[in-house]
Amino acid sequence: MLTPRVLFVCTANSARSQMAEALLRKHAGARFEAYSAGIDPGEINPLTVRVLNEIGVDASGQWAKSVELFRGKMHFDYVITVCSNAEERCPFFPAVTARLHWPFDDPATASGSEEERLARFRAVRDEIEKRILAWLQEVQ
């Protein structure tokens, strides 16, 4: 049996979708193959890597990718958008078992001191982790 593949999609693939990819790998182990991509990919926000490292998740091998890297080239069982912009603009992926929408605030838009921005990244990381853990219970 093939391992189900999950693609997390957001706008830039710089924070939310990267966190979701890394956290699914952490919690699902070999149950799922986790990927992430962006509609308009940029660079991974350094605070994304930092807040993942704080909880023992190594995201150093991850990089920002376009959905076009995968579309039509790889089958996904689940495509999960993590922001409203991606939900509206996400291209069609054929033969997807389920397309889900889990909206999270964009921590990259946080302003203030570094500590205030870090607090926003941590809060979003924790929200994503909680949603992934709940979803893993649903799909057992």
- The C-alpha angle 122, 126, 129, rounded to 5 degrees, equals 140
Per annotation, catalytic residue among 19, 22, 64, 83: 83
Chain centre to alpha carbon of residue 118: 18
Question: Is there a contact between 52 and 60 (Cβ–Cβ < 8 Å)?
Answer: no
SS3 98: strand
Per annotation, catalytic residue among 82, 90, 124, 128: 90
Q: Is residue 1 among the annotated active site residues?
A: no
Q: Is residue 79 among the annotated active site residues?
A: no
Q: Is residue 83 among the annotated active site residues?
A: yes
DSSP structure class, residue 132? H
Per annotation, catalytic residue among 6, 7, 9, 10: 10
Which residue type is seen at 103?
Answer: P
From CA 70, how far away is CA 37, in angstroms rounded? Answer: 8
Annotated catalytic residues are: 10, 83, 90
